[in-house]
Structure 1
């Protein structure tokens, strides 16, 4: 599922993955259901037995739950999505995305997402072994297009009772300058009730009781919060160096050139930079280099302005928008003129939009996007 606009859904979900394996949902705008009542207007709904999905670079707004796991799901990667301005039939509540809404999702990765409110609830059972890595969890929303300003639920992340063995690593908790603009200095770092003013909540349920196991089994390591304006917990050991990504070995080929990599974390300048999905929603250009392809001859011209390439040592790779490798250009397939890359040949390419990466002799990789004429 790619580059879809799913506005004004009247059903349970805009995109539903049910009994599925190895699906990918990316680069889409999931928004605007006709109602946000119970069981309706889920953005991306991972329902029952599911595994090995990749949900990446999507915008999810004005849903009941931007994304929700219910009744299972394992081995899924939820990457670099923008989830904001969710609401339910209770307009006083800050709507949320859900890592769990029905037993038993487990061993899933949330990485690099920007989410107004994230909850693992216990209404329909348990979940476990989720990893939340380098996300920006707001505890607020922009308020754009929301029917009514909420008055409670301004908590970045909640892990309810029977939601065990969660790892929260390298996230940024809280945001300034949005709609509610909570007074984070009055918050506690860790709380036990979903109605408390806390950066993180563990072990609560829909009543007033609390089960300490959710907190006891959690690993809270290297999260920057606006309460302390620093990192309050390093529970994962003495090593405080965080890897850039748990999914990628290096910056992905589709990443916006002017956006820091990684974009979020206690070790990142500004702590929480706008991910590409937010920039796309706000109408900002990718900042990537452009190139022009001649679909008749199958040659790619003026890649990254064509400077500084050595044809015997430069490698150029073309990818589909989903990141699948399409072609590789190496020795003898790259044409230079006066030291400038002008063309590369390896058969005719189909019309469409491609990503490219250029690996220079010094190891530097340049990336961009281009489209073929139709």
Structure 2
């Protein structure tokens, strides 16, 4: 059966209108090497490869700020600390640090901190400094407080000031196609645009009623398959998007939760220069935007907050997320213990080059679908995000991308134990850059995940790449919030079990150099499976969870599977159409990152599907296993 859930009523407006943001944390300074990813690769075709140089990589890494503008301790006796901290933030000069001492700071009564300029909010460490909302989210409770709010917002506002969730305005048409891999666009009007500005590039979906290849009447999709909304005519119960505003209308407003209406394919850019009617960006375009689809470049109604950071603290109890990046750019979170939240632990909305490092996001308050308990979310065009060397466990979705993700990298994280707290037998997606139409050109490299998948709950994603990951196919055993034990290895009812899955309409997805499955635990597994087949499988491509469980054959036909090893057949399988069997060490790093030298030191790459030793140790997983999420053993 397919699990469906309606968002909690108190969150419906919030999900439709709030600006959603993402953060991360760092344990050590990464090596800032030039990105290896570019527009070509020895195994990725040009339409699938891109330049992956996300987060703070292009600007030399996260700055090491040392000048303190204020040092604050918690109120004694304990009382709400918001006003004092916000006052210090407001007067702190750009480039300096508001330092919080050890102790618990209360952020209650609907209050939240707003970092609206390029400063750093820093604690004494995630085991010493805590920001807590004690009247907010509680473990295993669906209720929110009287005034749902996050703990920290990096950005100008929680909400859009325009009629769209992206907060875009001043749009101008492109007079020629924006070509993938190039840096410039030609526009009809340059008024209002300036160098340094953060802008939105998008196009209309071109969707229309087409014959559904799965045999369910007609589906709302573009003819090229780039955009496929999960909506049918006639409506299909338990399949179609449940939200009232998700169905096609005239004019088309379908799926406008996380994009401008009918413009889910998008990316955020920064303007480098303007000459005549040509606007040049600082980074290359990740997918072509077509003038035949009314491609446009738009300004934002307010400037993005740039060069802001949150470091070295614990966050707990946010009932509209814990840490949100809304309309932020070149900003970061590192060394953050993020727990017990509603909505998203880290949310990244309409943001550019956000970096999350050495984070530990875990134990959502209410691990349910419908946006109620996601660990990390990218939305509304957020682009070139780096999520690296972190831990994300025990949430409904450990990561999701909703009309966002272009040029982003999820690298070297331990991501496991996605679940539904009231239905623990359902195995949720693990490494996942989907959940709303529009995500494209996201790289998953070097992660340890219980599976990879691309869900089509609201619509599809395209051109994702999974490179040198361990996709185990089995969640680590864990206790759910209801007092039960979840153990995929011993509970045969748990499913669907797959190491690498892609739901219907997930097109042009690439898997290379991955290790799939778990040694000694593949009894009863098959190599290729379907949801209807009911057997655990290494691959479950094009699957659908609603009767009669049709398979979308185009998913497998457009997938690249090259140089992957699996523990069922104990062989490496290569794509016969690709002659080159030499895989690079990385698609975005030029050399071994510094965090692999921390602690006892670790072999890199740690996943070597074609080598004699398939798996070494992932630093983030080693920290989790040692019970020291912020200290490298």
Secondary structure of the equivalent of 1:3? Answer: strand
Which blocks of at least 5 consecutive residues in structure 2 are unaligned? Answer: 1-332, 489-493
- Contact map agreement 2:429 2:455 (CA 8 A) in 1: no
| Mapping of residues 157-168 of structure 1, within 5 Å | 157-168=500-511
2:521 aligned with 1:190, yes or no? no
Aligned residues: 281
Describe the shift of the 1:224–1:102 C-alpha distance in structure 2 as closer, same or farther (beyond 3 A). same
Note the residue ranges of structure 1 that are not aligned, 5 or more in a row.
288-374
Aligned runs of 1:1-374 on 2, under 5 Å? Answer: 1-9=333-341, 11-38=342-369, 39-88=371-420, 89-97=422-430, 98-146=432-480, 147-149=484-486, 150=488, 151-176=494-519, 181-183=521-523, 186-193=524-531, 195-207=534-546, 208-235=549-576, 237-256=578-597, 258-283=601-626, 286=632
8 Å contact kept, 1:168–1:220: yes
- RMSD between aligned residues: 1.8
Deviation string for 1:250-301 (max 9, x for gaps)?
10122235311100021344312221001111227646xxxxxxxxxxxxxx
Contact 1:223–1:265 at 8 Å: present in 2 too? no
Query: Residue 165 of structure 1 contacts residue 214 of structure 1 at CA under 8 Å; is this kept in 2?
Result: yes
Q: Which secondary structure state, in structure 1, belongs to the residue aligned with residue 620 of structure 2?
A: helix
Q: Does 1 or 2 have the higher relative contact order (CA < 8 Å, sep 6+)?
A: 2
SS in 1 for 2:596: coil
Cα deviation, residue 43, structure 1: 0.6
Task: Give the Å deviation of 1:122.
Answer: 1.1
Once the two structures are superposed, residues 346-370 of structure 1 have per-residue CA deviations (whole angstroms, 9 ceiling, x without a partner) of xxxxxxxxxxxxxxxxxxxxxxxxx
Task: Return the offset for 1:182.
Answer: 4.2
Greater mean alpha carbon deviation, residues 72-81 or residues 168-177: 168-177
Query: Does the Cα contact within 8 Å between 2:478 and 2:485 map onto a contact in 1?
Result: no
Cα drift, residue 74 of structure 1:
0.9
Deviations 1:33-74 (A, max 9, x none): 111122211011112211000000110111111111122321
Distance of 2:380 and 2:624 partners within structure 1: 30
**Partner residue, 1:369:** none
Distance in 1 (CA, whole Å) between partners of 2:504 and 2:395 is 25
C-alpha spacing 1:3/1:235, structure 2 compared with 1 (3 Å): farther
Q: For the Cα contact (< 8 Å) 1:262–1:268, is it kept in 2?
A: no
User: How far, CA to CA, are the matches of 1:14 and 1:255 in structure 2?
Assistant: 26
Q: Matched residue of 2:399: which SS?
A: strand
Mapped to 2, the partners of 1:217 and 1:227 lie a distance apart of 23
Rate the CA distance shift 1:133–1:108 in 2: closer, same or farther, 3 A. same
Whether the 8 Å CA contact 1:219–1:236 is kept in 2: the answer is no
CA contact (8 A) 2:444 2:467 kept: yes
Structure 2 equivalent of residue 368 of structure 1? none
Deviations 1:5-47 (A, max 9, x none): 01111x1110000111100011000001111122211011112
C-alpha contact (below 8 Å) 2:574/2:581 kept by paired residues: no
Q: Conserved in 1, the CA contact under 8 Å of 2:429 and 2:454? A: no
1:236 CA displacement: 5.2
SS in 2 for 1:278: helix
How far did residue 235 of structure 1 move?
4.1
Which is further off, 13-22 or 118-127?
Answer: 118-127
